[in-house]
Structure 1
Amino acid sequence: MKVHIGPIAPPDLTAAVVAAGAEIGPAAEASALVWYGSGPERFAELDHPGLEWVQLPSAGIETWMTSGALRDGITFTSAVGTYAETVAEHTLGLMLAGARQLHAVARADQWARPAGIRSLIGATVGIIGAGGIGRALMELLRPFGVRVLAVNRSGKPVDGAAWTCPADDASGVRRLLAESDFVVVAAPATAETAKLIDADALSRMKSDAWLVNVARGSLVDTDALVAALDAESIGGAALDVTDPEPLPAGHPLFQHPRALISPHSANPKSLLIPALARRVEDNVRRRLAGEPLLGVIDLTAGY
């Protein structure tokens, strides 16, 4: 099997393909493409009739879904689950920073203890989108003795969660929002999840609860979130993703006393490429052995 890597070919990805037993070749001769270095707008440059499989570099594929590049006749795989531990680690950091008001003390210019400091120990954590990231986060939260409420697509019980409900169970989602001290958003970005956390959802959260979004900015209604923070109707928000993204300079969330913003850095490039290389090697080996690929994209579901 010949594999092409492009439009950019980092050495780690090249080494992963070779280690898996495949041959690196020009795009026109390759049956498999490891995509890296651009968005879907350049896909047509490397697409050709003999292309059978494309490995995408990200877990979120909303831009690919709307681009029309995901054509029939090709198996597309995402990197879903590849970065779960890295993103979960960042999520835990955001939760602890919010609980301990570290964002407030970091901005302070005088010695003063902020109000609202709390503990993560024994808290109730609601995870909307309890997939790879959610499960990895649960492992990190285990020493804190938290109670986890989980929402996933199927409603199949998540090991370690106190209860699990399907995403289309509105009453279950409302229960999660009402009972959680921390609401973690880790669901995929689809038409169904757009502005999932809106004014109504925010109004159902505890007055001291924190919203943590490590999924995509589109899942949260930014204007409604700013209004809730201004009204002090929730404890705070810790966001690694925003809508719009990047967040414009001077946006009220940057300096809001109840907000903590990181610039979509839960999975930095220094960690992304090695993790992606491991997924590429695994999937190339699977392809060569005729085994099921990891992260096959369901075009109907949108992820």
Structure 2
Amino acid sequence: MTQSPRPKIAVAPDTRPTMHRQLCAAVEAGGGQVSPLEEATGLVWADPARPDLFPEMATRAPHLEWIQLPYAGIEPFAQHLDPQWTWTCGKGVYSNEVAETALAMSLAGFKNLHDYARQQSWSGPVGRVLSGSHITILGGGGITRSLLPLLAPFNCDISVVRRSGEPMEGANRTLTSARLMEVLPRTDLLILALSLTAETRGIIGAAELAALPEHTWIVNVARGGHIDTEALVQALKTNSIGGAALDVTDPEPLPDQHPLWSLPNCLITPHIGNTPDMGLEVLVPFIEENVRRFSQGQELLAPVDVSLGY
């Protein structure tokens, strides 16, 4: 990676003026020089919703060495990942915000808030206790690292299922993905907090849902594609699981007449785990730090493993 006192960094596209302006300021604050694509050695991508613009812009940047993507979930860019460039993403940047959402959804499901919010008359008490529950978390990245301390006061028995099986502080046990079916039958709360890849797409299907106890709640703050939506609808309709709290769906946005909307044991939020406003607040200093590291030839934060896709 070429070292430069003031590396030339492009910020593109400019389709989101506020985001573009703040990321340009972050580049300058980090010691970079905002430059045209034709001169840039680095590219900070400024619109996560427009991966379609990437191929054309990449062809205009012959000196490109490093590409910074703004979000942790980079599946829209998966087809563009090329090992000739160094890639970084927003992995870990939004972990605290998403972990808060996961905890809020977990408590809402256990306390039946989704149902009470729809009622217009007094009804009997329904709910479960989160304290002491058996929790299974899929994924061992930044969201899980932020979530485990939030769960600590509840004294839960926590299993983390991750690709490597490497232990995580705050978890009672860590297992590889191949052992997922071992823990599902004793799971009270299943939280999805993993990256979406070819291997993890549909990781929760009909068989996995059938293995869960009837009272289990599923919380998904990762990506909708992790769950077989048709199988989930069926499980919720038949009450073979307790319920689902979904901040992400498949498809997304969820169509107005989709069956999930009408299910009383389903809580849906429109991907608010990390909103654009709260996201920029934490993304800007992160970009500033990575530009500083790039300018000094240091190891960059949140590298993407091109072979794994995250």
TM-score tier, shorter chain, comes to over 0.9
Q: What is residue 265 of structure 2 aligned with on the other side? A: 258
Q: What is residue 242 of structure 1 aligned with on the other side? A: 249
Distance in structure 1 (CA, Å) of the matches to 2:204 and 2:125: 27
In 2, are the aligned partners of 1:82 and 1:276 still within 8 Å (CA)?
Answer: yes
1:164-243 aligned at under 5 Å gives the runs 164-167=174-177, 169=178, 172-243=179-250
Distance in structure 2 (CA, Å) of the matches to 1:39 and 1:294: 23
Measured after TM superposition, the shift of residue 298 of structure 1 is 1.2
Residue 300 (1) aligns with residue 307 (2): yes
Paired AA for residue 2 in structure 1: K
Q: Deviations over 1:68-101 (max 9, x none)?
A: x223421111111110000000111100100100
Percent of residue pairs identical? 43
Q: Deviations over 1:257-300 (max 9, x none)?
A: 11000111110011111211122111111112211111211121
In 2, are the aligned partners of 1:12 and 1:274 still within 8 Å (CA)?
Answer: no
Q: Deviations over 1:228-249 (max 9, x none)?
A: 1111111100011111111110
In 1, are the aligned partners of 2:13 and 2:20 still within 8 Å (CA)?
Answer: no
Structure 1: gaps spanning 5 or more residues: none
Residue 16 (1) aligns with residue 23 (2): no
Measured after TM superposition, the shift of residue 175 of structure 1 is 2.2
Residue 60 (1) aligns with residue 60 (2): no
Paired AA for residue 87 in structure 1: V
Residue 277 (1) aligns with residue 288 (2): no
Residue 27 (1) aligns with residue 37 (2): yes
In 1, are the aligned partners of 2:23 and 2:46 still within 8 Å (CA)?
Answer: no
The partner residue of 1:122 within 132, 135, 140 is 132
Residue 7 (1) aligns with residue 13 (2): yes
Q: What is residue 136 of structure 1 aligned with on the other side? A: 146
Q: Secondary structure, in 3 states, of the residue corresponding to 1:191?
A: coil
Q: Deviations over 1:193-244 (max 9, x none)?
A: 1111000000111110101111111100001001111111111000111111
Paired AA for residue 288 in structure 1: S
Q: Secondary structure, in 3 states, of the residue corresponding to 1:16?
A: helix
Residue 98 (1) aligns with residue 109 (2): yes
Deviates more, 1:16-25 or 1:258-267: 16-25
Distance in structure 2 (CA, Å) of the matches to 1:162 and 1:132: 18
In 2, are the aligned partners of 1:60 and 1:188 still within 8 Å (CA)?
Answer: yes
Measured after TM superposition, the shift of residue 114 of structure 1 is 5.1
How many pairs does the alignment contain? 297
Q: Secondary structure, in 3 states, of the residue corresponding to 1:13?
A: helix
In 2, are the aligned partners of 1:198 and 1:224 still within 8 Å (CA)?
Answer: yes
Moved over 3 A (4+): none
In 2, are the aligned partners of 1:17 and 1:23 still within 8 Å (CA)?
Answer: yes
Distance in structure 1 (CA, Å) of the matches to 2:54 and 2:235: 41
Distance in structure 2 (CA, Å) of the matches to 1:232 and 1:266: 26
In 1, are the aligned partners of 2:83 and 2:306 still within 8 Å (CA)?
Answer: no
Distance in structure 2 (CA, Å) of the matches to 1:88 and 1:284: 27
The partner residue of 1:154 within 142, 164, 174 is 164
In 2, are the aligned partners of 1:28 and 1:46 still within 8 Å (CA)?
Answer: no
Distance in structure 1 (CA, Å) of the matches to 2:11 and 2:280: 13
In 1, are the aligned partners of 2:82 and 2:306 still within 8 Å (CA)?
Answer: no
C-alpha change, 1:55 and 1:26, in structure 2 (3 Å) is: same
Deviates more, 1:29-38 or 1:215-224: 29-38
Distance in structure 1 (CA, Å) of the matches to 2:125 and 2:243: 13
Measured after TM superposition, the shift of residue 120 of structure 1 is 1.1
RMSD after superposition? 1.3
Q: What is residue 289 of structure 1 aligned with on the other side? A: 296
